[in-house]
Chains A and B, each alone.
Chain A
Amino acid sequence: MLSISNLHASIGNKEILRGLDLEVNAGEIHAIMGPNGAGKSTLASVLAGREDYEVTDGSVRYDGKDLLDMAIEERAAEGIFLAFQYPVEIPGVSTTNFLKTALNEIRKYRGQEPLDAVQFLKLMKEKMKLVNIDQSLLSRSLNEGFSGGEKKRNEIFQMAMLEPKLAILDETDSGLDIDALRIVADGVNQLRSPDRATIVVTHYQRLLDYIVPDFVHVLYKGRIVKSGPKELALELEEKGYDWIKAEAN
């Protein structure tokens, strides 16, 4: 589904990704771990198309297409979803209105009829249960005045609504208490399917107790320096990153 090869990306004049390779197949969950500043969030941002980053070398193929050629909204319409580390507050636009616009734009891109108000509401009710989110939150301005936990839950709710093929969770666990973490993880797990893939970017192993990955990759200095099964995460938790750094250097 996703094939990243020798990816180099920089912001300003600073190179952050330095030859990153990654293969993700449908049905898989990949965890990207690594010390601060390794380039984890940069990878998520580059995949979503954030314009601050410049790709200087390498390629990203997604479903056989050149991902780097697609506009941000095109990537979304092709099924890529980024759950933000810091969801943006948008005054004056309710979550409901926002999602209805997004969903119907994506449907338009795919040549599908837009959902009418009734169909949309039905879908929304169904997905609300999934992440245990309250109706009153959805009629408020998007993320405005939401607590950290509410914002993250809202991200997962949006993901459930848009049903992406490839979901990228960027440090979704940061700032969450254990109950919120469980709700978010439940939401992600319920969306697991053989057609979908998930990339979980995280600093801590904690989230991976709930979202069990098929592969764990360690990112260091802009490259994946070690990959392994889910047990690798436990090893990292126990031993920290120093031995990885030593190995890589």
Chain B
Amino acid sequence: MTPYASYNDFKEQLLASFRDNEERMNGERKAPLHQIRRAALRQFDQLGFPTIRHEEWKYSNVSGLMKQAFELDGTTTLTPGDLAPLEIPNLDGTILYFVNGRYHPELSRIASPASQLQITSFASALKSEPDLIDRHFAQYANYQENSFTALNTALASDGVVVRVPDNTTVEQPIILRFITDSRTKNIASQPRNLIVVGRNSELMLAESYRTLGEGASFVNVVTEIVLDHDARMQYYKVQDETEKAYHIGTTQVNQKDNSHFYSATVTLNGSFVRNNLNIRLDGQYTEAFMYGLYMPNGRQHVDNHTLVDHAMPNSYSNELYKGILDDNSTGVFNGKIFVRPDAQKTNAYQSCKNVVLSPGATMNTKPQLEIYADDVKCSHGTTTGQLNDEALFYMRSRGIPKDEARTLLLYAFSQDVLSQIKIQPIREYLERVVTAKLGK
């Protein structure tokens, strides 16, 4: 495939793909859903891909994305044998596979009874559950200002819709596995997920992103999560893609009264990764915990943007992101805490800690606090430094070789985040991969 001649070619390809879909429609063109999609497409067309002149993209240059051509609808077939090297050992529960953005039921299994958990592919839900889609789709994730969210909103054709009824504890975790098969082509996909957890219900869900093959991949995912009153959710996002992977993801959470959201975002590998985690605390007595770990090396770039929007009183948010940066990698942390005038008695805490292992690596951190209420407790802090020489000397003086000591210190550094992950096989898998990556 030939690279794009100019910045606009990829955009044109995406716009054209929308028009092609539209032409094939039969009576759906007037539906509310399609009106939203058209509006989103217009936004994408107007906004275009962001440049580093955009404040939210100052340190994250997406122009590399335009340097190769992508196939937008790369259907492919994978056998269990193809997936074997990507397997997470001992994983139990509902495991759903999405290949190049398409749901593959033949590779997937659903472990919980329908009384506990209703799972539909996004493609089917568009047809079978228009009411649910109309009520929630694009109601939370902002496509007015974020062009990637606009693009996804316009073009998303598959992903998953998960619903947990009221008063239900889903015992088995859900693992969404997004596999890009770039063995023969460069693949772009736009998965879209909607997770609705009912009153007083509980869910554990993980998103995992992997790539097969040597081609380039571009995943532009949007997950909208709705937590009703007293709902509790554990949410993990794990990326381990290739050196030619572009990943841009937005997770948009909306929390009602007394709901609790615990998240961990772990970025292991990828060429360019941007994670947006936006939480709107739209109820009283809500709690949100955000943990993050990123460990880029080579020329990898990882950008975590988080936003906690305290809209109502008496809520609590706590955030800890940690980074280990090696070689010529770059990292970005931008954490915004927004406390609206009504959100009295807010407690919001934020911390970002980084270890830079090489003189070529760079970390950019930017905490942003916007507080419009007067009775709040907020704190933030960022540190970026090198591995503690005194600690290394101490460990070596006890007989631990330098490399081992370094690995042990960094592993301990990562544990603050990894120990938060409650799906044991995923935590164990991450601990192994992190140790292996640190030992390199």
Contact = CB atoms under 8 A, between A and B. Distances in A.
Interface string A64-101: 00000001110111000110100111111100001101
B55 interface: no
B333 to A, nearest CB: 20
B394 A84 contact: yes
Main secondary structure, interface of B, reads: helix
Interface in A147-178: 158, 162
A131 interface: no
Contact of B416 (A50, A92, A93, A158): A92
Interface stretch (A102-110, A122-130, A230-238): A102-110
A182 to B, nearest CB: 25
B396 interface: yes
A92 B412 contact: yes
Interface residues of A, number: 31
- The 8 nearest A-B residue pairs measured at CB: A92-B412, A76-B399, A72-B396, A102-B398, A88-B394, A106-B399, A73-B396, A93-B412
A105 B404 contact: yes
B391 interface: yes
B397 A101 contact: no
Contact of A77 (B390, B399, B412, B416): B399
Interface string B157-194: 00000000000000000000000000000000000000
A109 B413 contact: no
Which one of B391, B400, B404 has the greatest number of beta carbons of chain A within 10 Å? B400
Contacts of B398: 76, 81, 98-99, 102, 158, 162
A188 B203 CA distance: 55
A87 B394 contact: yes
A119 B372 CA distance: 60
A93 B408 contact: yes
A39 interface: no
Contacts of B394: 84, 87-88, 90
Given A73-B402, A105-B404, A93 B409 contact: yes
A89 B413 CA distance: 13
Contact of A51 (B393, B405, B412): B393
Contacts of A141: 412
Given A92-B413, A93-B409, A109 B399 contact: yes
B262 to A, nearest CB: 20
B401 interface: yes
A87 B397 CA distance: 11
A221 to B, nearest CB: 26
Contacts of A81: 397-398
B72 interface: no
A48 interface: yes
Contact of B400 (A51, A89, A92, A105): A105
A91 B395 CA distance: 13
B396 A101 contact: no
B142 interface: no
Given A71-B396, A88-B393, A92-B415, 7 more contacts: A50-B393, A72-B397, A76-B399, A88-B390, A92-B413, A93-B412, A99-B398
A75 B388 CA distance: 21
Given A73-B401, A92-B413, A101 B408 contact: yes
Contacts of B391: 88-90
A244 B390 CA distance: 34
